[in-house]
Amino acid sequence: MKTKLGFSSGGAMRSRSLGGVVLASALCTGLLVAQSGAAQEAAEVPALAKARPNAPLPSGRGPMPMMVSMAPMPAGGAAGAAAAAPLRGPNCTGEIHDETSVVVPVGKSTLLPLAEPARNRTLGNPTIVQATLVSPRTLYLVGMAVGTTNMIVQGRSGGCQMIDVIVNIDANGVQQSLGQLLPNERSIRVSTAAGNLVLGGHVSSSPAAQQAMEIAKAYADAQPTQQSQAGSGSIGGMPVNQQSSSTSKSAEVINMMTVDAPQQVMLEVKVAEVSKTLINQLGSALNIQGGFGSWSGALVSNLLAGVTSVIAGSKANNRPFNFAVDAQKTDDLVKILAEPNLVAISGQEATFLAGGKIFIPVPQSSGTGVTSITLQEEEFGVGLKFTPTVLSNGRISLKVAPEVSELSPTGITVSASNVSGVSILPLITTRRASTVVQMSDGESFAIGGLMKSNVTGALKAIPGIGEVPVLGALARSTSFQQDLTELVFIITPHLVKPLQTADLPLPTDSFSQPNEADVYATGNMEGRHPKMRAAPAEAAPAASPMPAPASVSPSAPQPSPEPAPQAPAVPATTALPPRGPQAAAASPMLTAAASTAAPSAAETEQAARAARIESSAKQIASRNARQEVAKADASSQPAEH
């Protein structure tokens, strides 16, 4: 402001007086602002230091963070301060603006524009976010820890605005890391919910989803979540007493990813076992009886039966002399080959059982002393349990447990002291293997094997007499048994996909229902002409049906065998009705016009399918011819003799 220097008595004095008043007002205003800033700094530094011990304290330069609590001033040490500066919080005398929210990544900052210049603001939890007024209409927010809080901003017009502040993990940082570490998985999307990471989108395989989860978990563990209730700040330049408590926990990772095409694994298991038993027995039984009245005695009695006493007596009149020789040789050969196949999705368990169940009685005693019999279920047969996991580069990790069990012909005899009689319980012979292996598609692995050789010998004889070189064989019994067992489990995994067609070969395709002539006249359990699976209607060409072969009476003489006739190049399925509605036959002109056009992909596929059907028809015709030749040879053999 400019002042004029004049020598007039009235105007000059008035100008100098006005300039002095303005200068004094400016000096007073500056002193008040400086005092208010110093008082605010003195109040906020202890509050910030107590809320976050490791946070840097604000310097005297730049914008000062301002946090004001609306809690009432506690009595005690602040009584003098309250007298110097009256308690004052946000006084919303104007319009209440709509509530807004802002999301701040932890460890990052953002600018929040305000509707009007701010006069006062209150922050709920300074450990989660810090607010700084960088201009009258702009707040500078820094995310300190994962959590939620709010603040009230009062404008110069008296209006107030509630602002919700959400501090989350930096989802963009996790997204960038996933893009760098998993470049082939571009469909993964990262978001946050309630302070936790959420992974969504699509992945190509289960191992890729597991790797993405591990990366996100590393980010979540590095960011603690603060949950606290605190109030701190300054009012009129004086500190306000506060009480706060906080707990920390790691954020969680929620998996909402889906696998585009989950890998399916088919496991082929071969259980091969050969068991051979050789038994040789040679023994004699001598019985000499002499009588004194009706009493008789025996010197030697049935050594093969394992008699505990050499001399025996009985009151009977039997034959005076008995002699028996037992010579036995037994060869047993058992071959077991089981090939269970099972398909499962990667990461899921699959079970397979081809066998049966038996129930074994098990006694159970109650608290009252009453014994009850319950039935315990036991399974036997060919079983398989496996859990596949498809790894990277086509490797497959398998947790597999094949099992082969059967009922043994010999049971277990059980007797009780307070129960009359004995019970025979079934005995189950089990071969089982359980392991975890890793291999590639199509590779085979022997996961278990057994080679067992048992030799058992037994000799029973009369002391002294049984040791005589030649005649001692009549007084002793010899038993020799040798068991040889070889067992191996071989597994082969395959990565498979479902087929797009339902025309699959079945074990029942080559079976034909026999008629009475086949069963009673020739003894065949199958019909002479096995049926063929009908192809779809679009695969059947418009051609004349193949004539059926003439039937041959079983009683008629069989002609001499001739070479197998070649089946005509007509699909066998034309003799059977098609599955779908059959199209009308085309005219010769249309057929000729269609033959000159270039074959399409569908026509090529139909031609290939027709060729396969033709090949199957030829094989069936050749097999029928061989069967006829064999029957003719069998019928001609009695006539030659």
Quickly list DSSP for 343-397: EEETT--EEEEEEEEEEEEEEEE-TTS-EEEEEEEEEEEEEEEEEEEE-GGG-EE
Partners of 486 in beta bridges: 274, 451
Residue 164 has pLDDT above 70, yes or no: yes
User: Of the candidates 538, 549, 522, which has an alpha carbon nearest to the alpha carbon of residue 617?
Assistant: 549
Rounded Cα distance between 93 and 267, Å, is: 77
Q: What's residue 93's pLDDT? A: 77
* Helix (H) or strand (E) segment spanning residue 257: strand 253-259
Does residue 562 carry a pLDDT above 70?
no
Q: Is 238 within 8 Å of 128 (Cβ atoms)?
A: no
For residues 616 and 110, the model is more confident at: 110
| 481/330 Cα distance (integer angstroms) | 9
Which one is predicted more confidently, 596 or 502?
502
The answer to whether residue 46 scores a pLDDT higher than 70 is no
Same domain, 480 and 540: no
Least confident segment among 302-306, 351-355, 458-462: 302-306
Q: Is residue 608 part of a domain?
A: yes
Among 231, 266, 281, which Cα is nearest to 491's? 266
Which structure tokens are listed for 528?
């002479």
Same domain (yes/no): 157, 226 = yes
pLDDT, tens digit, 9 for 90 and up, residues 109-133: 889 888 888 888 888 888 888 888 8
Helix (H) or strand (E) holding 316: none
Residue 584 falls inside a structural domain: no
pLDDT band at 35 (very low <50, low <70, confident <90, very high): low
Query: What pLDDT score was predicted for residue 71?
Result: 41
Q: Is the pLDDT of residue 264 over 50?
A: yes
Alpha carbons 342 and 267: distance in angstroms, whole number: 5
Comparing CA positions, the residue from 534, 484, 486 lying closest to residue 509 is 534
Same domain, 532 and 480: no
* Alpha-carbon span 248 to 556, nearest angstrom: 97
Q: Are residues 273 and 139 in the same domain?
A: no
Average pLDDT, the chain: 69
The tens digit of pLDDT for each residue in 2-19 reads 444 444 444 444 555 566
Q: Do residues 156 and 34 share a domain?
A: yes
Cβ-based neighbour number of residue 290 at 10 Å = 11
Residue 147 and residue 46 share a domain: yes
pLDDT score at 476: 78
Question: How many Å apart are CA 596 and CA 65, to the nearest integer?
Answer: 88
Q: Is residue 445 part of a domain?
A: yes
Burial per residue of 348-381, b for 16 or more beta-carbon CB atoms within 10 angstroms, e otherwise: eebebeeeeeeeeeeeeeeeeeeeeeeeeeeebb
Report the sign of the C-alpha dihedral through residues 351, 355, 356, 357, in that order: negative
More confident of the two residues 331 and 344? 344
- The pLDDT, as a whole number, for residue 301 is 41
If asked whether residues 346 and 489 sit together in one domain, one would say: yes
Alpha carbon distances (Å) from 500 to 158, 504, 601, 607: 72, 10, 16, 19
Q: Which residues are within 8 A (CB) of 630 and not within 5 positions of it... i.e. 6 or more apart?
A: none
Q: Which own/partner contact pairs does 181-184 have at CB distance under 8 Å and 24+ positions apart?
A: 181/211, 181/215, 182/208, 182/211, 182/212, 182/215, 184/208
Does the residue 170 lie in any domain? Answer: yes
* Pairwise CA distance, residues 152 & 159, whole Å: 10
Residue 457 lies in a domain: yes
> What b/e sequence results for 558-573 when a residue is b if at least 16 CB atoms lie within 10 Å of its CB, and e otherwise?
eeeeeeeeebeebbbb
Residue whose C-alpha is closest to residue 168's, from 147, 190, 141, 189? 147
The pLDDT of 616-638, averaged and rounded, is 70
CATH number, position 40: 2.60.40.1080
Residue 446 bridge partners (DSSP):
490
Q: Return all residues near 273 (Cβ < 8 A) that are at least 6 apart.
A: 334, 335, 336, 337, 404, 431, 485, 486, 487, 488
Q: Identify whether 162 is part of a domain.
A: yes
Lowest-pLDDT range, 394-403, 440-449, 522-531?
A: 522-531
Whether the predicted pLDDT of 293 surpasses 80: no
Give the C-alpha distances (Å, rounded to integers) separating 381 from 271, 341, 434, 489: 12, 14, 16, 15
pLDDT for position 568: 41
pLDDT value at 41 more than 60: no
Identify the pLDDT of residue 532: 53
Cβ-proximal residues to 180 (8 Å cutoff; 6+ apart), any chain: none
Does 431 share its domain with 533?
no
Q: What is the mean pLDDT of residues 219-242?
A: 53
Burial class from Cβ neighbours inside 10 Å (0-12, 13-18, 19+) for residue 201 reads: middle
pLDDT (0 to 100) of residue 363: 78
Structural domain count of the chain: 3
Nearest Cα to Cα of residue 235 among 55, 61, 47, 58: 47
Judge whether residue 582 has pLDDT over 80: no
pLDDT band at 248; cut points 50, 70, 90: low
SS3 sequence, 144-177?
Answer: CCEEEEEEEEEECCCCEEEEEEEEECCHHHHHHH
Instruction: Assign 533 a pLDDT band (cuts: 50, 70, 90).
Output: low
pTM score: 0.43
pLDDT at 106 over 70: yes
When mean pLDDT is compared across 319-333, 363-377, 379-393, the lowest value belongs to 319-333
Residues 509 and 394 in one domain: no
pLDDT at residue 89, rounded to an integer? 57
Domain range for 622 is 505-546+564-574+602-635
Its sign, for the CA torsion 613, 619, 623, 625, is: positive
Q: Is pLDDT above 50 for 229?
A: no
Between 576 and 334, where is the model more confident?
334
Of 116-130, 204-218, 365-379, the one with minimum mean pLDDT is 365-379
- pLDDT of 105 > 80? The answer is yes
Are residues 517 and 453 located together in one domain of the fold?
no
Residue 419 has pLDDT above 80, yes or no: no
**Residues 355, 441 within the same domain:** yes
From 84-93, 457-466, 497-506, 607-616, the region with the lowest mean pLDDT: 84-93
d(CA 61, CA 630): 111
Query: Which stretch, 161-170, 595-604, 626-635, has highest mean pLDDT?
Result: 161-170
Of how many residues is the chain composed? 641
> Per-residue pLDDT averaged across 92-116, rounded?
85
Quote the DSSP letter at residue 466: G
CB–CB of 481/459 below 8 Å?
A: no
**Do 341 and 233 fall into the same domain?**
no
Structure confidence at residue 134 (pLDDT): 87
pLDDT at 479 over 60: yes
Yes or no: say if 289 and 298 are a contact pair by the CB < 8 Å rule: yes
> Residue 509: inside a domain, yes or no?
yes
In a domain, 484, yes or no: yes
